[in-house]
Amino acid sequence: MEPPPASERPTSAMLKGDIDSGRTGDKNPVFDPGLSPLGTDDEAAGTPPSARRIAIARHYENLERWMRGGWKAGATHNKHDGFPVVFVSFIGVVGLILMFGIWAARGG
């Protein structure tokens, strides 16, 4: 999916296109249908976002995120968070406590 072009008067659909294309780094580039497209709630309330607000949102979603993260488009699922040492240790300790409790209950 191709990202939408730059525009002097961006729309909510363009912001959604940025997200769906993977340009913002939030998800893999694929069309994401929704029951209520981005911006519909604001329009229904009678306060649609201005082109300036959408331009600011596109700027921060596209440029600022890449400056801080430096990830490539579509690489959202290629992150390596490391081995969850604390979680695995906690599970091990709980297992040992349960084993000791069962052993003690049986008259060990």
Please tell me the predicted confidence (pLDDT) of residue 92.
Answer: 97
Question: Which pLDDT band, with edges at 50, 70 and 90, does 99 fall under?
Answer: very high
Contact 27, 36 (CB under 8 A): no
DSSP-assigned letter for residue 71: P
pLDDT in tens, 27-84: 777 777 777 778 788 888 888 889 999 888 888 887 766 666 655 544 555 556 678 8
Which residues, 6+ apart, have CB-to-CB distance to 100 below 8 Å? Answer: none
Question: Which pLDDT band, with edges at 50, 70 and 90, does 93 fall under?
Answer: very high
pTM, rounded to two decimals: 0.52
In terms of C-beta density within 10 A (0-12 exposed, 13-18 middle, 19 or more buried), how is residue 39 classed? middle
Among 12, 8, 74, 77, residue whose Cα is nearest residue 38: 12
**47 vs 65: CA distance, rounded Å:** 27
Contact 38, 79 (CB under 8 A): no
Candidate from 3-7, 10-14, 24-28, 76-80 with smallest mean pLDDT: 76-80
Any idea where the domains of the chain sit in the sequence? 12-77
Question: Which pLDDT band, with edges at 50, 70 and 90, does 100 fall under?
Answer: very high
